[in-house]
Chains A and B, each alone.
Chain A
Amino acid sequence: MLAGMTTNVVFGLLRLAIIAAALKAAGGAIADYDIAAINTYVWIGQGLLGFVLLWGNNELAERVRSGDVVVDLYRPWHLQGALLAQDVGRGGFAFLTRLAPPMAFGMLLFPFQFPENPARWPLFLLSATIALVISFGVRFLVELSAFWLLDNRGLYGFWNVSSGLLCGLTVPIAFFPEWARDALWASPFPALLQAPIDVFLGHGSVAKLLLYQVFWAAVILGIGHVALQRAVRKVVVQGG
């Protein structure tokens, strides 16, 4: 845990240094980010990364591969619901160990943009929780693909590499050219990371951001549910 925290903070410092340098070169601000906003963006991003768990452990896919998924399938539960509950529980712990520490680190050591309206704190938490649900939904789909692909490591790897850029972890979505910005906001990806950060920073309308997130949470969980039913119908359990 301590090692994870150290890595997280070191990467945060790196990202901060790079984006701050870009900011300086651009004359102090890019889009609606000044140095305080960028610092806030980086440390919330570092925290959310572990809280929403952008990159999962592909455990379900491994269980499909080995055939251990039979155990998950004969229980009297809805597998997706059960795993979601498990992930929300994990989020409760990750809130304390993964989200709060880097945020506190950024607040204490760097200029930080606190929300003007205190109501944004609970709204940020709500937005982060919806982001966690969407993140679960996307990971569930990536893992479920193992029922068809058998070996989903390609897709899993692709998600791990591309999600940082698509979700607004690498640089804020606001830094992208207009066409890319529009395209991304029409996709679910910014809902995973950029949306909660925007809620905290007061970029854009909170109501709109939350609605956008809720919409994608419903769509992605819905697709997951249908995909699971399909998968179960065609299931071929591996290994005897």
Chain B
Amino acid sequence: MIEVRELRREFKVATSKGLRRNYKTVTAVDDVSFDVQAGEAVGYVGPNGAGKSTTIKMLTGILVPTSGHLRVSGVDPSKQRRDLAKRIGVVFGQRSQLWWDLPLGDSFDLLRSIYRVSAADYRTRLDECVELLGLQELLITPVRQLSLGQRMRGEITAALLHAPELLVLDEPTIGLDLESKERLREFLADINTRRGTTLLLTTHDLDDIERLCPRLMVIDHGRVLADGPLAELRAEVTPERELVIDLREPGPAPDVPGVTAVRSEAGGLRHHLTFRRAETTAAQLITQVVRQVEVHDLAVVEPEIDDVIRKLYQRQVQQNTSR
């Protein structure tokens, strides 16, 4: 579905000093290679400025690569942009493809004409999305009056009306509340498994990846740092999880075998404990902790995606220096 070989994109950035104007070249995507098979669901993650959006824009034909080989659904994106647009769907979490002042339903009608979808196909696809995403009452609402969560459901429907083989989502859950995120993930997982639509999504939310993407690609400074199943990567890079407990009364950290107390705060009111995910579960640990001390509040903290990436990045640097 996607074939990327040594893809590279450079930008010229002006560095002005007085009247002289100098340019320096910044490499946003640096010899990236990967393949995505039809029907896969791939999470493409990395910190801000890592090159994610630049890659997405090249995959959708909006940006022309500086060099490298690129095929999406069999075509060269920047050369056959219009052909490609009919075969893929794109959702940018921070932009809207709906018409701000029109009712949602009218936006869909316009897209049907733009993508030349037959009336029958349009009806079945729209009905399906409307039902699964609960859009019935929103079809007559102007887009400007929709909440962010409602609008995102509209955006995803809009991207699916022409039944794309590949759906590219750039931070689809950004700014959504937990329930809206969950609903969106459920829907995306469903179209991936049932319709076989290939998914490629960028996100900062680890849960998106966990729920949706069997495969994770990590990019930083324009390079792919890791590519594989999320659970494997996380277990490999950060084998420990953290439990934070707030006690009712200040006191020493509970002593549970296999658990390390890392630090305590607020004069013994809050304790940070780490445990290895391979050895114990959070549930077992919590049962043991509450037996020992009176707990006011507790939270299990998963390593942040940025943590995972930072560790991956450090590992990369170490490998380079040891070589």
B114 at the interface (CB under 8 A from A): yes
Cα-based distance from A75 to B94 in the complex (angstroms): 17
Stretch at the interface among A9-17, A64-72, A172-180: A64-72
**Is there an interface contact between B62 and A74, defined as CB atoms closer than 8 Å?**
yes
**Is there an interface contact between A73 and B96, defined as CB atoms closer than 8 Å?**
no
A154 at the interface (CB under 8 A from B): no
Per-residue CB proximity of A69-102 to B under 8 Å, as 1/0?
0110111111000100000000000000000000
Q: Which residues of A contact B (CB under 8 A)?
A: 67-68, 70-71, 73-78, 82, 232-233, 235-237, 239-240
Report chain A residues within 8 Å CB of B96: 68, 71
Report chain B residues within 8 Å CB of A239: 94
Q: Which 9 A-B pairs have the closest CB atoms?
A: A76-B85, A76-B82, A76-B86, A71-B97, A73-B62, A74-B60, A240-B53, A68-B95, A70-B62
Report chain A residues within 8 Å CB of B60: 74
Interface centre among A76, A77, A235 (most CB of B within 10 A): A76
9 more contacts with CB within 8 A, not counting A73-B81, A74-B62, A75-B85, are: A67-B95, A70-B62, A73-B62, A75-B114, A77-B114, A82-B114, A233-B64, A237-B63, A240-B53
Cα-based distance from A78 to B81 in the complex (angstroms): 10
Report chain B residues within 8 Å CB of A74: 60-62, 81, 85, 90
Cα-based distance from A232 to B77 in the complex (angstroms): 13
Per-residue CB proximity of B59-75 to A under 8 Å, as 1/0?
01111100000000000
B92 at the interface (CB under 8 A from A): yes
User: Measured between C-beta atoms, what is the minimum distance from B203 to chain A in Å?
Assistant: 14
Per-residue CB proximity of B90-107 to A under 8 Å, as 1/0?
101011110000000000
Given the known interface contacts A68-B95, A70-B95, A76-B114, the answer about A235 and B63 at a Cβ–Cβ threshold of 8 Å is yes
Report chain B residues within 8 Å CB of A82: 114
Report chain B residues within 8 Å CB of A233: 64
Chain B, residue nearest A63 (CB): B95
B57 at the interface (CB under 8 A from A): yes
Cα-based distance from A188 to B138 in the complex (angstroms): 46
User: Measured between C-beta atoms, what is the minimum distance from B6 to chain A in Å?
Assistant: 21
**Is there an interface contact between A76 and B95, defined as CB atoms closer than 8 Å?**
no
**Is there an interface contact between A235 and B62, defined as CB atoms closer than 8 Å?**
yes
Q: What are 27 sample pairs from A and B whose C-beta atoms fall under 8 A apart? A: A67-B95, A68-B96, A70-B62, A70-B92, A71-B96, A71-B97, A73-B62, A74-B62, A74-B81, A74-B85, A75-B97, A76-B82, A76-B83, A76-B114, A76-B115, A77-B82, A78-B82, A232-B81, A233-B64, A235-B62, A236-B63, A237-B53, A237-B62, A239-B94, A240-B48, A240-B53, A240-B94
Chain B, residue nearest A77 (CB): B114
B34 at the interface (CB under 8 A from A): no
Report chain A residues within 8 Å CB of B61: 74
Report chain B residues within 8 Å CB of A235: 62-64
User: Measured between C-beta atoms, what is the minimum distance from A36 to chain B in Å?
Assistant: 42
User: Measured between C-beta atoms, what is the minimum distance from B65 to chain A in Å?
Assistant: 12
Report chain A residues within 8 Å CB of B81: 73-74, 232
Chain B, residue nearest A66 (CB): B95
Cα-based distance from A240 to B171 in the complex (angstroms): 11
Report chain A residues within 8 Å CB of B92: 70-71
User: Measured between C-beta atoms, what is the minimum distance from A28 to chain B in Å?
Assistant: 50
Interface centre among B53, B64, B95 (most CB of A within 10 A): B95
Per-residue CB proximity of B293-317 to A under 8 Å, as 1/0?
0000000000000000000000000
Cα-based distance from A75 to B63 in the complex (angstroms): 14
Chain A, residue nearest B54 (CB): A237
User: Measured between C-beta atoms, what is the minimum distance from A232 to chain B in Å?
Assistant: 8
Report chain A residues within 8 Å CB of B82: 76-78
Report chain B residues within 8 Å CB of A237: 53, 57, 62-63
**Is there an interface contact between A236 and B11, defined as CB atoms closer than 8 Å?**
yes
Cα-based distance from A67 to B114 in the complex (angstroms): 21
Cα-based distance from A178 to B280 in the complex (angstroms): 93
Cα-based distance from A74 to B83 in the complex (angstroms): 10
User: Measured between C-beta atoms, what is the minimum distance from A91 to chain B in Å?
Assistant: 18
User: Measured between C-beta atoms, what is the minimum distance from B207 to chain A in Å?
Assistant: 21
Cα-based distance from A70 to B53 in the complex (angstroms): 11
User: Measured between C-beta atoms, what is the minimum distance from B163 to chain A in Å?
Assistant: 13
Cα-based distance from A74 to B94 in the complex (angstroms): 15
Chain B, residue nearest A72 (CB): B97
Report chain B residues within 8 Å CB of A68: 95-96
User: Measured between C-beta atoms, what is the minimum distance from A221 to chain B in Å?
Assistant: 18
